[in-house]
Structure 1
């Protein structure tokens, strides 16, 4: 497998979360909210897009409570409990392969490790719960520093979020590898001089980390 990494200069590894560390199904929340609300999936998808709920929540413009309130209002289900909304929202998250976590733990010996994710607090709480159930460290313990879009109020592929990570962590772009499944995210990182690796199926992050 061809690698774009220059291992002679590599000191830092930045990981995306969804579809890099934990497999995801992006269509699952809309599909499941549609079932709960007894509405056509396309209608719910259109509502989501029109009101830009994902981006607002993932960039911290609205908090958990406001997000849930918007979901109830837009889908006309005022009596949905927080737990129902959170559980449905978290259906995007699939089973977490423990071997990926074990490999990341091994890499801590030789590299500075970071997480950079467009995500929401409900998702992060759930991933950390899954990790705890597997007797694994939380994301905040696994990485030297985590950068969540909702905390930094920026999102990939904006160049500003990469610059924020480099500055905040004191990283040199050329000494840093970034692993992401999204082509636009990879492109922007590469333009800033970061060694950007596009994680694409059928390969997983383990394939790209094999020779590091």
Structure 2
């Protein structure tokens, strides 16, 4: 590791451990409603329901109802879930191996903005690797929809630090989202911004 050595590693999930294509979900939602991709992007920026779903403020059925109204689509839940999950791709085996290796001399944690529908799909992706959870790979896991907090709000980082008695300078936060990186850095946490599929390999070589 090229920064000052830390004892605690806090990983994001999507775009860091799991390969993502947000554009795929944008395209699939657009197809469901006969909308344009630009329309979907605009709605994400203007509706709080997306953030509410990530923080557990609304449940699966309410979120699906919101999407139905937004898209004027009244088909089955499975079609909505499939479109919403289209962004979730694969988990390269080498990333899971890296997490296991890092566990030998670090506390390795997960901090993810996510939701129930996505996590159901993530478990299916994990099945390829012979498990249905991240328990073998992280000492602690924090999911926004379960703790009612989301990145980049300061309180979610503070909660992780306080619950684990970690000094900010003794933690490295790894994320692909610039706002999330800034939120952690503002608290004095060391950060690694993932900008390509090689970032982790190059850093933890």
Gaps of 5+ in 1: none
1:117 aligned to 112, 117, 127, which one?
Answer: 112
Give 4+ residue runs of structure 1 displaced > 6 Å after superposition.
Answer: none
1:6 aligned to 4, 7, 10, which one?
Answer: 4
Whole-Å separation in 2 of the counterparts to 1:52 and 1:165: 25
1:63 aligned to 52, 59, 68, which one?
Answer: 59
1:174 aligned to 165, 169, 173, which one?
Answer: 169
User: TM-score with structure 2 length normalisation?
Assistant: 0.91
| Counterpart position of 2:125 | 130
The question of 1:27 aligning with 2:53 is answered no
Residue 178 of structure 1 contacts residue 194 of structure 1 at CA under 8 Å; is this kept in 2? Answer: yes
Residue 11 of structure 1 contacts residue 112 of structure 1 at CA under 8 Å; is this kept in 2? Answer: yes
Kindly state the Cα deviation for residue 62 of structure 1 after the two structures are TM-superposed.
0.9
Whole-Å separation in 1 of the counterparts to 2:41 and 2:173: 30
User: How does 1:10-159 map onto structure 2 within 5 Å?
Assistant: 10-78=6-74, 80-136=75-131, 138-159=133-154
Whole-Å separation in 2 of the counterparts to 1:17 and 1:81: 28
Whole-Å separation in 2 of the counterparts to 1:200 and 1:51: 27
| Counterpart position of 1:197 | 192
Whole-Å separation in 2 of the counterparts to 1:40 and 1:180: 29
Kindly state the Cα deviation for residue 205 of structure 1 after the two structures are TM-superposed.
1.7
Gaps of 5+ in 2: none
Kindly state the Cα deviation for residue 53 of structure 1 after the two structures are TM-superposed.
3.0
Instruction: Quickly say closer, same or farther: Cα 1:100–1:46, change in 2 above 3 A.
Output: same
* Aligned-CA RMSD value: 1.8
CA deviations over 1:73-117 (Å, ceiling 9, x no partner): 221222x22221111111111222111011101111111111011
Residue 32 of structure 2 contacts residue 71 of structure 2 at CA under 8 Å; is this kept in 1? Answer: no
Whole-Å separation in 2 of the counterparts to 1:160 and 1:98: 32
